[in-house]
Structure 1
Amino acid sequence: MMAPALWFPPAALACCMAALAWCLLVGTPLGARARGGVVLALLLAACLPLGRSSSFLGMLWGVLGSPSMPTLAVALAALSGSASLRRDVGWGAALLALLGLLLLYPLSLGPWDLDPYRWGFAPWVLSGALAAVGIAVSFCLPALALLLGLALAGFGLRLSGSDNLWDYVLDPMLVIYSVFFLSNRLRRGPLPRGGFAS
């Protein structure tokens, strides 16, 4: 049986590429079927070998690494066609990226000898903390709790082959998506009375 670390990362990256292509084609005059055909053709082309080297998908995997579980959830939500699912998962992903950046970046750069990324290699305390946060926010921010649960499940199954829990929680694609999501939401004005769910 093939190890998940061999098939999951390229499959997750292909799903993220499909979601990006689908979203970019939404404003075009193509119907849903034609968009699906274009996305499928692009994915097949991305899998073709480029000369003697790897495929475009393989090269992209080498540059970006394996997508985190929340990034995959964002991609699947984008492909689902449900606006409320996209919105809820988008808010959860944006909050997760913001919390991760606030924890990882400042603490790693300070004058102290503190590296939160290193905590991911001894994940029992970190996974307990993430599970506690997920449980604590499950009623008010269920999408964030779901994303944390997916990250912990992916780490438990070692889907991307990494031994660091942070690699299942955050990745550059999630941060970039979160910046665009938050800037788009903030440009629309303040949050309605219902908060994130509106």
Structure 2
Amino acid sequence: MTPYLQLIALLEMSLTCAVVLITLSQKLSSKEIPFVIRLLAAVLLVNLFFWPLGMSLELPLSAYVRGVTGELSIVTMLLLWSSILPAAKKTPLGFKVSVALIAIVFYPLALGLGMLDPYAWGYGSIGLLIAIIFFAIVCGLAGWTQGVWILSFAIIAWAVHWHESANLWDYLLDPILAIWALLAIPNAIYHKRRDRAQSDYLFRAG
């Protein structure tokens, strides 16, 4: 990996780590953290993770995190980064279900289960590119414009070789995104059922 790509990778992981910590803090807090505070915290945490701190650490903290998680996809990073923006909307359940279904089929096949290798489609397959564009259009028609922008940025990043990989799949999907989608689906269903039960209880006669 060239020094330029290494710098990008460290900056991306530093920002991702900062957003994860801010998101966890927000979930543990009983009050909404003001956006200005979140922004300042992000700046401080990015610097904390990006610069080597000494203390017998030869590399920045983000490099060690990246060594464990690997390089995240553009889709994963943009979903995370946008979560701390003002009035950030929740990711639609339909997107989570789609990611989960794709991951369930994709990873076993990509790891050699069967004769089909969908990972090879990521090297310039027009069919895969058309499918992603179609999926982005569906997101737009469903009213989730954020998904359109995220998928568009992922395609652009792949086209300009923003990351080291030349495979489109690496810009769209990663194991962390797949695990998040698989865990988020039952959680979303539970909350919908709970909200519906509470609504029925409030409007129950008597």
TM (normalized to structure 2)?
A: 0.73
2:187 is aligned with 1:159: no
Partner of 1:196: none
Looking at structure 2, the residues matched to 92 and 146 of structure 1 have their Cα atoms a distance apart, in angstroms, of: 17
Partner of 1:147: 150
Looking at structure 1, the residues matched to 71 and 39 of structure 2 have their Cα atoms a distance apart, in angstroms, of: 24
Partner of 2:5: 5
Identity of aligned residues (%): 22
Shift of 1:36: 4.9
Aligned length: 189
Shift of 1:39: 4.4
Which amino acid in 2 is paired with 1:20? V
**8 Å contact from structure 1 (residues 108, 115) kept in 2:** yes
Shift of 1:126: 1.6
**Which digits, 9 at most, give the CA deviation of each residue in 1:86-135, with x for residues without a partner?**
x1x45465245224313303434676311111221233332122223323
**Which digits, 9 at most, give the CA deviation of each residue in 1:162-186, with x for residues without a partner?**
1111000011232233234323312
Q: Residues 80-99 of structure 1 correspond to what in structure 2 (within 5 A)?
A: 80-83=85-88, 85=89, 87=90, 89=91, 91=93, 94-99=96-101
Q: Residues 1-198 of structure 1 correspond to what in structure 2 (within 5 A)?
A: 5-26=5-26, 27-28=28-29, 32=34, 36-49=39-52, 51=56, 53-83=58-88, 85=89, 87=90, 89=91, 91=93, 94-108=96-110, 112-140=114-142, 142=144, 143-190=146-193
Highest RCO, 1 vs 2 (Cα 8 Å, sep ≥ 6): 1
Looking at structure 1, the residues matched to 108 and 41 of structure 2 have their Cα atoms a distance apart, in angstroms, of: 42
Looking at structure 1, the residues matched to 180 and 11 of structure 2 have their Cα atoms a distance apart, in angstroms, of: 19
**8 Å contact from structure 2 (residues 72, 174) kept in 1:** yes
Which amino acid in 2 is paired with 1:18? A
Looking at structure 2, the residues matched to 103 and 132 of structure 1 have their Cα atoms a distance apart, in angstroms, of: 19
TM (normalized to structure 1)?
A: 0.75
**Which digits, 9 at most, give the CA deviation of each residue in 1:52-106, with x for residues without a partner?**
53121012122222221211221222110314x2x1x454652452243133034
Of 12-21 and 50-59, more deviation after overlay is shown by 50-59
Unpaired runs of 5+ in structure 2? Answer: 197-206
Looking at structure 2, the residues matched to 37 and 145 of structure 1 have their Cα atoms a distance apart, in angstroms, of: 28
Where 2:29 maps in the other structure, the secondary structure is: coil
**8 Å contact from structure 1 (residues 9, 67) kept in 2:** no
**8 Å contact from structure 1 (residues 96, 144) kept in 2:** no
What's the RMSD between the two structures over aligned residues?
A: 3.3
Where 1:182 maps in the other structure, the secondary structure is: helix
Unpaired runs of 5+ in structure 1? Answer: 194-198
Q: In 2 relative to 1, CA 5–111 (structure 1 residues): closer, same or farther, beyond 3 Å?
A: closer
Shift of 1:155: 0.7
Looking at structure 2, the residues matched to 120 and 65 of structure 1 have their Cα atoms a distance apart, in angstroms, of: 18
Looking at structure 2, the residues matched to 191 and 135 of structure 1 have their Cα atoms a distance apart, in angstroms, of: 32
**Which digits, 9 at most, give the CA deviation of each residue in 1:3-26, with x for residues without a partner?**
863433222222221221111111
